[in-house]
């Protein structure tokens, strides 16, 4: 295995600087993850490797963004397999700190406040989740930031996030813009299994029957996408009814929103073709897990 594992910020800084110098590189990337990696994460990593000289992936299950302790405890941890997947994708360095390295004094007293865009959708059922997620993303973006490499000036710095977590991506983009982080955020399209289910580390908790039922999420998103492409009324209510007819699926929300603000498009846009860009967001509980998915719409 060519990939290197580091667990402290100091080693990360030293090793990434060494790699950048050795390669005479002019760009460095960070791919933040919580581990339990699948093909969706591999796609993020490969995209980063294709666009940058040095690529760091982080693996950190962030206690700050979990509401219930049980959810944090049962989050899958598969470090050996994760390293093999990242190595195959061409990642140079893995930063896998423990909780004390990231939060040496316990939970931080100062945190990022994700603001009004975090109150709806996922934020509504997971209070504090996005404050915790943005706080750790801010820290990880700082850990992964390249220093000036000898002879190359200030390297370009990019970080890769999946469109699968659309609200998280929108919030990270806002944080970086609003707080002037010197990093380019690169979105990567959602990777799905052949039958349409968006890949997620939580899918492993679904029974065969629940997994089959969960396919209704991607199916209704495709339906809305087809209606948008054909400039037909989106008719969200009929699409919602389709989800609600599935007994194993407990729908939380299914909305069409402005991708920049995450505000729902005006009522009449749901019934008539809309103009411009939109995002269809869906979330449902299926058996033991909460699943989210989305599709970008362009009219």
Please report, as ranges, the residues that interact with ligand AMP according to CB under 6 A: 33-34, 40-41, 43-44, 161-162, 164-165, 188, 190-191, 198-201
Instruction: Kindly tell me which of 44 and 221 has the beta carbon lying closer to ligand AMP.
Output: 44
With CB atoms as reference, the residue minimizing the distance to ligand AMP is 162
Burial class for 80, CB neighbours closer than 10 Å (0-12, 13-18, 19+): exposed
CA distance 125 to 127: 6
Q: Are 294 and 169 in contact (CB under 8 A)?
A: no
Instruction: Kindly tell me which of 20 and 49 has the beta carbon lying closer to ligand AMP.
Output: 49
Instruction: Kindly tell me which of 43 and 53 has the beta carbon lying closer to ligand AMP.
Output: 43
Furthest-apart CA atoms within the chain: distance in Å? 62
What is the smallest separation between the CB atom of 232 and ligand AMP, expressed in angstroms?
Answer: 28
Question: Annotated catalytic residue: which of 38, 41, 129, 142?
Answer: 41
What is the smallest separation between the CB atom of 164 and ligand AMP, expressed in angstroms?
Answer: 4
What is the smallest separation between the CB atom of 284 and ligand AMP, expressed in angstroms?
Answer: 16
What is the smallest separation between the CB atom of 248 and ligand AMP, expressed in angstroms?
Answer: 21
Evaluated on CA atoms 280, 297, 133, 75, the torsion sign reads positive
CA distance 31 to 141: 9
Instruction: Kindly tell me which of 162 and 259 has the beta carbon lying closer to ligand AMP.
Output: 162
Alpha helices in 149-253 (DSSP H): 166-178, 208-229, 236-244
CA within 13 Å, CB half, 199: 16
CA distance 245 to 248: 9
Instruction: Kindly tell me which of 44 and 206 has the beta carbon lying closer to ligand AMP.
Output: 44
What is the smallest separation between the CB atom of 142 and ligand AMP, expressed in angstroms?
Answer: 17
Q: Does the active-site annotation cover 142? A: no
- What are the tokens at 205? 């908790």
Instruction: Just list the catalytic residues.
Output: 41
């Amino acid at each position: 295995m060519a990939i290197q594992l580091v667990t402290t910020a100091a080693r990360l800084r030293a090793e990434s600087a060494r790699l950048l110098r050795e390669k005479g590189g002019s760009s460095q990337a960070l791919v933040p993850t919580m581990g339990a990696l699948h093909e969706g994460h591999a796609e993020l990593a490969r995209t980063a490797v294709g666009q940058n000289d040095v690529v760091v992936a982080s693996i950190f299950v962030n206690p700050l963004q979990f509401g219930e302790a049980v959810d944090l405890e049962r989050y899958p941890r598969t470090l050996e397999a994760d390293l093999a997947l990242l190595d195959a994708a061409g990642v140079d360095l893995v930063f896998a700190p423990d909780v004390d390295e990231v939060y040496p004094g316990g939970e931080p007293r100062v945190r990022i406040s994700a603001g009004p865009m975090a109150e709806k959708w996922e934020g509504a059922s997971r209070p504090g989740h996005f404050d915790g997620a943005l706080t750790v993303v801010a820290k990880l973006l700082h850990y992964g930031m390249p220093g000036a490499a000898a002879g190359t000036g200030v390297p370009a710095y990019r970080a890769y996030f999946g469109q699968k977590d659309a609200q998280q991506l929108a919030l990270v983009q806002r944080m970086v813009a609003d707080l002037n982080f010197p990093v380019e955020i690169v979105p990567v399209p959602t990777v799905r299994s052949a039958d349409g289910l968006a890949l997620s580390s939580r899918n492993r908790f679904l029974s065969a029957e629940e997994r089959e039922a969960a396919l209704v999420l991607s199916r209704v998103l495709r339906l809305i996408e087809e209606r948008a492409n054909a400039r037909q009324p989106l008719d969200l209510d009929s699409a919602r009814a389709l989800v609600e007819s599935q007994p194993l699926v407990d729908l939380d929300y299914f909305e069409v929103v402005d991708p920049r603000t995450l505000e729902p498009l005006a009522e009449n846009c749901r019934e008539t073709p809309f103009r411009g860009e939109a995002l269809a967001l869906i979330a449902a509980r299926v058996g033991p897990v909460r699943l989210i998915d989305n599709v970008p719409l362009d009219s």
